[in-house]
Amino acid sequence: MTPNDPGHPALPYRDRKRRAWLLSVVFPLLPLLGVWAHHASGWQIALALPMAISYGLMPLLDALIGEDLNNPPEAAVARLEADHYYRWLTWATVPLHFVTLIGCAWWAGTQPLSWWGFLLLAYSAGAGAGLGLNTGHELGHKHNRLEQWLARLVLAVPAYGHFTVEHGRGHHLWVATPADHASARMGESIYRFALRELPGGVRRAWALESARLHALGRSAWSPANTMLQSYAVTALLQGGLLLAFGWLMLPFLLIHNPVAWWQLTSANYVEHYGLLRQRDASTGTGYESPKPHHSWNTNHLVTNLATFHLQRHSDHHAYPSRRYQSLRDFPDLPRLPSGYFGMFSLAYLPALWFKVMDRRLLALPLVAGDLDKVNLDPARRQALRRSYGPAGAGLLRT
């Protein structure tokens, strides 16, 4: 595959989205907009404003503004990645996630909210913290001590400190194979996927980090355990909130943390649904190396600007250390029909998701209706074969 719009290497390149990337920095503050709206109006329903923006306005803007297919020319990538402005944006985002959690916790702990107002605020704060997992994702792929530490710090906000270990050394190795619990299978609903993905990530991360430390002659419970380092920050942060605002923080955090995890699960679900790497006995995993077509891609501009280009996931998996500002689009990729926020809502309705995405999956050139080239849910394998036939023709004809 070759990227679209490679540009002319002799021409100077200017990133037209340079200032627009600030949306990725301020978007995690969205729950505080709900707090402000509640303060200004006195209406508790205003606490739902962040969710209305995320799941209503963002998909609408993606549909209206559309996709951005432009790529930076390869001759400009080295200079683009050396520009510290882009990494400063990710660094600046880390403390803002702490600000958002503390601000929302303060409002929940000091205002006379009804039970449903409290629930709205906790859910909104958790959804915002889910964006912290995206920030941690970008930072965790960088091979320097500062950004690795920043990743652990931001992952501490929703108590997801295992993620950099699991994602970098687990998911990226096994992506789009039946062995990967973070790659959704055709016919698997997001709810069944979550029961496999969430606990599987913690178990695999602990096994990987324990093996790394044992190879160094150290205990898995050593202070050098990067998971425990992040969880220690979580204990300090969330324990401090409990001390500051009392017992109400317990239900607040019990909502906040799983909602943040659910955001990551939602992203994992839509990113690799049904895609399968083919067998290759010459590799260490027994599968071909990850290629751009092993991830679903979307170029919808607004959501990409709010998520540090997370939706250009195909290039990310092919080149994991490439920084967000230089991620590329490629022709003939598996493409999602909407940005992530629109796709999340679709995934929460499994019957509708299957109707939209199964057809799109089987129509891919790399699949061409052949269910043997799809990562199938074992529990639904026979039902899928009965429904779609040995080559998926039943689905493609409808």
Span 318-337, pLDDT tens digits: 999 999 999 999 999 999 99
Instruction: Give residues with Cβ within 8 angstroms of 313, minimum separation 6.
Output: 271, 295, 296, 297
Average pLDDT over residues 90-98: 98
Which are the contacts of 25, defined by CB distance < 8 A and separation ≥ 6?
89, 92, 93, 96
Q: How much is the pLDDT for 2?
A: 53
Alpha helices of the chain — where are they, by DSSP H? 22-26, 30-41, 49-52, 58-65, 74-82, 84-110, 115-140, 145-156, 163-166, 172-174, 190-215, 226-245, 249-272, 301-306, 313-318, 340-347, 350-362, 381-388, 393-397
- At 12, the pLDDT band (50, 70, 90 cuts) reads confident
pLDDT value of position 389: 72
pLDDT band at 82 (very low <50, low <70, confident <90, very high): very high
Helix, strand, or coil (residue 222): coil
The set of residues, in sequence order, having a beta carbon less than 8 Å from that of 167 and lying 6+ positions away, is 137, 140, 182
Average pLDDT, integer, range 208-216: 97
pLDDT at 353 over 60: yes
Residue 201 clears pLDDT 70, i.e. is over it: yes
Per-residue pLDDT of 277-321, as tens digits, reads: 999 999 888 999 999 999 999 999 999 999 999 999 999 999 999
Amino acid at 70: N
Nearest to residue 300, comparing CAs of 337, 266, 275? 337
Percent of the chain beyond pLDDT 90?
91
| pLDDT tens-digit series, residues 356-366 | 999 999 999 99
Element (H, E) at 367: none
The pLDDT confidence band at residue 10, using thresholds 50, 70 and 90, is very low
- pLDDT value at residue 190: 98
Report field, pTM of the whole predicted structure over 0.85: yes
Q: Is the pLDDT of residue 393 over 60?
A: no
Q: Is the pLDDT of residue 397 over 50?
A: no
Amino acid at 209: E
Evaluate if residue 238 carries a pLDDT over 90. yes
The pLDDT of residue 4 is 53
**Integer Cα distance of 263 and 194 in angstroms:** 11
User: Which residue type occupies 121?
Assistant: L
For 335, the 3-state DSSP assignment is strand
CA angle 313, 319, 323 (to 5 degrees): 75
Residues present in the chain in total: 398
